[in-house]
Structure 1
Amino acid sequence: MNKRIQLLSILLLGVSQIAFSQIKEEKLVLNKKREPEVKKIEKKKTSVETIKNYPPEEKSQNPVQYKITDVPAVSDFKTSTIQGEDVAPKFQGSAQNNYIQFGMGNFGKILGDANISKTLDNKLEVGIDAHFLSTQGLKKEYLWDSKQSSTTLGAFVNSYGDKGKFNLNAEYGLNSYNYYGIYALEPGDVDLDQRVNQFKVNGYYDFYSNEILNDVRVKSSFLKDHFDAQENQASILANLSKHAIEIGKSGINLNADLGIGMETVKTDFAIREKNSSNFFNTSLSPKVTFRKGDSYLMLGSSFSFLNAKNSNDVMEQVKNNKTYWFPQAEFQFAAAKEFKFYGGVDGGLKLNTYGDLLQQNPFIVSDQMLRPTQTKYHFYAGLRGDIDETVKYDVSAGYGKMRDILFYKANDLFNNDFTLNRSAYNFANTFSAIYDDGNVSDIKGSIQYFPLENLVLDGEVQFTKYDLKNYEDIYNVPLLNASIGAKYTMLEKKLMLGFKGIFATDRTTNSYAIEAVPDANAPTGMVYRSTEDKNDKVGGYADLNLSAEYKIHKNFSIFALGNNLLSSKYQTYKGYKVLGAQIVGGVKISF
């Protein structure tokens, strides 16, 4: 298995850029003036119409960028969420590609940000990307240390040739924070530190034409944390295709695609039960698409061939070799560009990694039993459209059946010894991944409105209901998420204003009440005893954020960010309070 990891890592150096982790969104930013791509509108990747003979020179002048959009609560105490989505508006133009910015605010917050690139004579672009964010935490809320910091350093290479584009990206990230969410004990001054180091190398090559080899993407990651957990991941995916095959004189075109992928993940933990897992997955995804105008019918399947090994200190190694089949089909009937009816069914296998879990919940204990999540099928139907290039909307509903749905439960004390001299994760302040089978129902809505050339409004809402086999409720998952946003430019684009509101309903969780009780058999004569509440609530919230940036000179700007302006004292996970109202001001130098 180690040889497989090494082989895939070596292959990476010959290809280019892919956003690491499961790609949640892949947007093509083509610098369109009137139809900006907005998050989650028509994002589903299908066999779409091919633009023949796309001019390489034109494509090199408008380079395609692939970005991840992951929107957690902006004022979440996990500091890297600032980089999840920067609500500060960004100026368009070449000057914005090279900038350095610095800001400071309350809670001891320090923000540093830089992106510098240079295009050489041979159309090779090289650059660096750096981010830093730190806060002193909630000193008035906790007697113990709650400061956090996040650092990301990256370098990239972009090349635009006659036949395709090549991207290569290397990135190092360090997140340093504390397990500060202690609600059942009062430990005083203790070391609650957790640090996660992660190095990524990602690659992507995309041919301009969709003839035979469409694109190749590779990703790799090497992770280590403060408790000596280690995870190595590598994957490669090639898309083969033959597009725009005319079927007689019917006006129907045929697109044929075949995705071939391999992924390997090896994870080892060094504390508690010392869980270890090793996954190797090979996938095939054939599909054909019949298209006429904006209407199409896609038929396909996906196959996964999984080799899995799990072990820990309390059980022997368990091996599992299994083949999975998943349906893939989608149709769209375009009655008009304003009304496009669509529906389909899909499914798949997702390898859950320690790195993925830390992105969702950084407060998990460094010892997890990892299992893949299987979506056996997911049916969906919806309506989307574009009204006069002024309103874009997408509304859909779905129903699916899943196995090993991943969510998080709170941990108890790992021992009942009557002492506060215990490990950082041993205060009932961490979480563990748990799994259950069940059904999921979802309703999603998204709308963007462009009333003026310099004004963009957007809104989203998502309702998700789980019906689990063993648990009455799914822990730490809200029933309803919603967001609204706006971006406005004025004074000849010298002033840019932004707004983002994020809303979530109550979440159910488990929690523990801990008390000291006499025990004649204990060395100290006392032990801790826990009582679990399986139906605790973590309240919902409304998180409002504003931003402003004023361009004093073409090379100099000042900015201000206001996060959680209602000072909502909510928790993302039990015990982990977020920062209150935050104001950050700073300067930006563009060149």
Structure 2
Amino acid sequence: MNKRFQILSLLFLGFSQIAFSQIKDEKLILDRKREPEVKKIEKKKTSIEAEKNYPPQEKSANPPSYEITNVPASSDFKTSVIQGEDISPKFDGEYQNNYFQIGMGNYGKILADGNISTKLESGMEVGGDVHFLSTQGLKKVYDWNSQQNSGNVGLYVNSYGEKGKFSMNADYGLNDYNYYGIYALNPTSSDIDLKQKTNRIKVNGYYDFYSNDILNDVRVKSSFLSDHFGAKENQAEILVNLSKHGVALPKMDEVNFNADLGLNLETVKTDFDVLDKNSSQYVNATLAPKITFFKGKSYLMIGSDFSFLNAKNSSLILAGEEKNSKTYWFPNAELQFAAADEFKFYAGINGGLKLNSYADLLEENPYLVSDQELRATETKYKFYFGLRGDIDQNIKYDFSAGFGKMNDLLFFKANDLFNNNVDYNRPAFDYANTFSAVYDNGTVSEAKASVQYFPLANLALNAELKFEKYNLDNYENIFNKPLVKVSLGGKYAMLDKKLNLGAKAIFATDQTTNSFEVSNVGINPNILVTSENKNDKVGGFADLNLSAEYKVHKNFSIFALGNNVLNTKYQTYKGYKVLGAQILGGVKISF
């Protein structure tokens, strides 16, 4: 590993002036001559824009938010994808809506990606988006099928009226893949069925009033998910923000007052059709009042969250349906003291309730068995403090640390065999190759650091670090979460922005997991015997990714992407090895 780190460091120094743009939550710096803003580029153009800066002068009272983005390793076997966003780095506000790109690479990788939109005479914008990625998987590593395919198709509408902005989108996503991470058994057949497939439809709507006078914005979210094993899940959420901003306080010069009230109603209903056939329905209503005092760039925010949770759960192992209702209160406060633009100290406390859905869990770990016990995670409180600032508009930084108390903290454990018979026609999830959500109460200590450096108008460098240490009540170690994760990146445009280059390096430490050994050396040779290791390790990794795009013509570009170019042999979860060094090339047509 040390040798890989040395090679990676040298390569990263060599690419310190290049750009990388395929990471999922990449940051976009809008024109270095202005004060840099940290923004997230959503995966697709179909995503609803939730930025409170239109018109800028009416929304500028909101303090900026700097957050460290949790970026997945781009060469993960499943997440080694080029997102629907334009692959070339961007250094200004220009965005090419209408394009189509196609590429091919090793491991049988095929990419097709496009976006088209148009503005109508009424000023309304309508568009569509498509994204497809396929790979044949690790044929030389596994005797069984490890192929994966994913695709999204979306439609969206944006309308800018006299009083506010309206957005609506509909998206269909398909993920067709295999539970290929078999490590405990030695299947005799190469054509075993390991197939899993999920379908998800999402419909979202958003209305943002330009002024913050009483009704600020309204958001509606909904989704429906199904999978290959008969699981079904419905989610719906409505959020309403009421506010009165920019109220001057008498006898207090330069002090403004904001009042906000958030109303949120969320429901999740999930039914599974295999194994224990868990079924759950959660309804959560939240009331979140807060008041904020501003003076310059310093502010004090004081608020609370009140949640009422109603839960219904049932399964084959429960005597009947369990019902539970509970009311929660969470603190919410933050203070920022801005000594100067370069030094802004902040500290606060918050908490909240998070409904864990099957769809959300699959985003983090797609190799879950299709039967999960779903609970709500409660962050009772989280204290944090930090320092952030902008130095000469060339360096943006944010350092913070925190400590929190959580109940029903979610993480993933590896599953044992569900049937121990030797001559058993096993379903796809019964090779000790899947995971389940588990919960425990405990505390978490964390530290985060994020630095962005803009030495030139067309050069951006960034570094991020995240440290998380968990102490649980019942489990000695938390499973499948690294202690430290680091990313280093850079992007550079040259030749009058005709050539865009990028790099992203990702490091992670070892993570603890449980695992199983299977044998048939017991009393009955027809029964498999398993033993569990609760202190197994999934090794850390160093992953380097490179990208390049050259604009041959204003409407035609060629690109090349290299993922995991160090050919690091690591795993995302126990048994799930990632693709090795990947090279993909293609063309893009803009119109």
> Could you tell me which residue of structure 1 aligns to residue 534 of structure 2?
534
Contact kept? 2:410, 2:440, Cα under 8 Å: yes
SS at match of 1:359: helix
Q: Deviations over 1:271-325 (max 9, x none)?
A: 0000000000100000000000000000000011000011101102111100000
> 310, 314, 322: which one pairs with 1:311?
314
* Contact 1:50–1:244 (8 Å) recurs in 2: no
Q: What is the deviation of 1:101?
A: 0.2
1:374 is aligned to: 378
1:342 alignment counterpart:
346
- The amino acid across from 2:233 in the alignment is E
In the other structure, the counterpart of 2:368 is: 364
Residues 28 and 106 (structure 1 numbering): CA distance in 2 closer, same or farther, change over 3 Å?
A: closer
* Residue of structure 2 equivalent to 1:12: none
Q: Do residues 441 (structure 1) and 445 (structure 2) align? A: yes
Shift of 1:519: 3.9
Match of 2:258 in 1: 255
The question of whether the paired residues in 2 share the 8 Å contact of 1:403 and 1:438 is answered with: yes
**Does the 8 A contact of 2:331 with 2:351 survive in 1?**
yes
Query: Deviation string for 1:99-146 (max 9, x for gaps)?
Result: 000000000000111010001111100000110001000000000000
Match of 1:515 in 2: 519
1:469 aligns with 2:473: yes
- The TM-score with structure 1 as length reference comes to 0.89
TM-superposed deviation, 1:164: 0.9
Aligned residue number for residue 563 of structure 1: 563
Give the direction of change, closer, same or farther, for the CA distance of 1:91–1:340 in structure 2 (3 Å limit). Answer: closer
The alpha carbon displacement at 1:364 in A equals 0.6
Structure 1 residues 90 and 186, CA gap change in structure 2 (3 angstroms): farther
Residue 53 of structure 1 deviates from its aligned partner by 5.3
Within the alignment, does 1:353 sit opposite 2:349 as a pair? no
1:193 corresponds to: 195
For 1:295, the equivalent position in structure 2 comes to 298
- Structure 1: gaps of 5 or more residues: 1-23, 56-67
Q: Which amino acid aligns with 1:194?
A: Q
Tell me how far 1:83 sits from its aligned partner: 2.6
**What are the equivalent positions in structure 2 for 1:197-216 lying under 5 Å apart?**
197-216=199-218
Following superposition of structure 1 onto structure 2, how do residues 328-339 of structure 1 map, counting pairs within 5 Å?
328-339=332-343
Checking the alignment, whether the CA contact within 8 Å between 2:27 and 2:40 is kept in structure 1 is no
- Give the AA of the match of 1:567: N
CA distance in 1, matches of 2:36, 2:544: 24
Instruction: Find out whether 1:413 has 2:417 as its counterpart.
Output: yes
Q: Are the aligned partners of 1:484 and 1:500 in contact in 2 as well (CA < 8 Å)?
A: yes
Provide the C-alpha distance between the structure 2 equivalents of 1:245 and 1:262, rounded to a whole number of angstroms. 28
173 and 33 in structure 1: CA distance in 2 versus 1, 3 angstrom threshold: farther
2:53–2:59 Cα contact (<8 Å) kept: no
CA pair 436-528 structure 1, distance change in 2 beyond 3 A? same
Pair 1:271 & 2:274 matched? yes
- Offset at residue 421 of structure 1 (A): 2.2
Change (3 A) 1:53 1:225: closer
The residue aligned with 2:232 is 230
Q: Which residue of 1 aligns with 2:6?
A: none
Q: 1:51 to 1:555 in 2, by over 3 A?
A: closer
1:358 match: secondary structure:
helix
Displacement of 1:588 in angstroms is 0.2
The alignment of Structure 1 onto Structure 2 pairs a total of residues equal to 549
Change in CA separation of 1:193 and 1:86 when aligned onto 2, cut-off 3 Å:
farther
CA contact (8 A) 1:70 1:85 kept: no
* Distance across 2 between alignment mates of 1:307 and 1:368: 19
8 Å Cα contact 1:403-1:437 kept in structure 2: yes
Q: Deviations over 1:358-412 (max 9, x none)?
A: 0010001000000000000000000000011100000000000000000000000
Q: 1:452 corresponds to which residue? A: 456
In structure 2, distance between residues paired with 1:556 and 1:350: 45
The verdict on how the C-alpha distance between 1:152 and 1:539 changes in structure 2, with shifts beyond 3 A counting, is same
Report which structure shows greater RCO (CA 8 Å, sep ≥6): 2
Question: What residue identity is the alignment partner of 1:227?
Answer: F
SS at match of 1:517: coil
- CA shift, 1:38, in A, is 3.2
Q: Partner of 1:485: helix, strand, or coil? A: strand
1:481 pairs, out of 479, 485, 498, with 485
Give 1:479 shift.
0.2
Contact 1:71–1:84 under 8 Å retained in 2: no
| Amino acid across the alignment from 1:232 | N
For the 8 Å contact 1:79–1:148, the answer to whether it is kept is no
Flag the 1:438–1:93 CA change in 2: closer, same or farther, 3 A. closer
Report matched runs for 1:56-205 at 5 Å: 71-79=71-79, 81-83=81-83, 88-90=88-90, 96-187=96-187, 188-189=189-190, 190-205=192-207
Residue type at the aligned position of 1:509: T
Please state how far the C-alpha of 1:35 moved relative to its aligned partner: 4.1
- Residue 527 of structure 1 and its aligned partner are, at CA, apart by 1.1
Pair 1:491 & 2:491 matched:
no
The 1:300–1:533 alpha-carbon spacing in structure 2 relative to 1, beyond 3 Å, is same
Q: Secondary structure at the residue paired with 1:355? A: helix
CA 1:111/1:582 → structure 2, altered by over 3 Å: closer, same or farther?
A: same
Instruction: For 1:196, give the aligned amino acid.
Output: T
Q: CA deviation at 1:328?
A: 0.3
- Look up the SS of the partner of 1:180 in the other structure: coil
Q: 1:575 to 1:353 in 2, by over 3 A?
A: same
**Mapped partners of 2:94, 2:120: distance in 1:** 15
Distance in 1 between the 2:369 and 2:508 partners? 25
The CA RMSD over aligned residues, in Å, is 2.4
Q: 1:241 — aligned with what?
A: 243
Alpha-carbon spacing, 1:215–1:333, altered in 2? closer, same or farther (3 Å): same
Higher deviation after alignment, 365-374 or 419-428: 419-428
Q: Deviations over 1:42-66 (max 9, x none)?
A: xxx99999965579xxxxxxxxxxx
Find out whether 1:582 has 2:582 as its counterpart.
yes
State the distance in 2 between where 1:569 and 1:534 align: 23
Label 1:554 to 1:393 Cα distance change in 2 as closer, same or farther (>3 A).
Answer: same
CA distance in 2, matches of 1:241, 1:571: 47
CA distance in 2 between partners of 1:583 and 1:28 (Å): 25
Work out the CA distance in 1 between the residues paired with 2:175 and 2:51.
36
Moved more, 414-423 or 554-563: 414-423
Q: Give the drift of 1:326.
A: 0.1
Q: Secondary structure at the match of 1:152?
A: strand
Q: Give me the whole-angstrom Cα distance separating, in 2, the residues matched to 1:220 and 1:502.
A: 33
Do the aligned partners of 1:158 and 1:168 also contact (CA within 8 Å) in 2?
yes
Mapped to 2, the partners of 1:30 and 1:579 lie a distance apart of 34
Structure 2 equivalent of residue 21 of structure 1: none
Which residue is 2:552 aligned to?
552
Secondary structure of 2:521's counterpart equals strand
Task: Name the structure 2 match of 1:61.
Answer: none
CA 1:86/1:431 → structure 2, altered by over 3 Å: closer, same or farther? farther
1:37 deviation in Å? Answer: 3.1
CA distance in 2 between partners of 1:292 and 1:460 (Å):
30
CA–CA distance in 2 between the matches of 1:168 and 1:562?
35
